[in-house]
Amino acid sequence: MPVVRFYRDGEQIAEIDIAKGNSVMHGAIVAGLNGIVGECGGEMVCASCHVFVLSHGDEIPELSPTEDEMLDFTVETRQPCSRLSCQIKMTDKLDGLVLGLPKAQV
């Protein structure tokens, strides 16, 4: 399974195996990661699964207009590398993905 590494404040806080085809949000919630809320269950209406893509950005599909709009509603200020983890589906190419977590989601 592809591995995702999660960082907060420059320190790695988790390394999670997430099955291909699953969203990063789903994998993080199943693993009990503190930092991904996913209030809407991945329906892209809450922005509580905000992450900062620190590696493999070229392997993730472009933002949809809806995701782009939702990123304007994140608790922590949106950055150029901001994404919603519910929209990042795991593939072999994303093995080793590194994501930063915001200080707060809600």
What average pLDDT does this structure show over 27-48?
95
Q: Quick one: CA torsion of 5, 9, 11, 13, rounded to 10 degrees?
A: -50
Residue 14: what pLDDT? 97
Residue 98: what pLDDT? 98
Q: With contact defined as beta carbons under 8 Å apart, do 67 and 90 qualify? A: no
Residue 52: what pLDDT? 98
pLDDT higher than threshold 90 for residue 20: yes
This prediction has a pTM of 0.96
CATH architecture of 3-100: Roll (3.10)
pLDDT higher than threshold 90 for residue 35: yes
Domain extent listing, the chain? 3-100
What average pLDDT does this structure show over 42-50?
95
Per-position DSSP letters for 17-77, written without gaps between them: E--TTSBHHHHHHHTT-TT---TTSSSSSS-TTEEEE-S-GGGSPPPPHHHHHHGGG-SSP
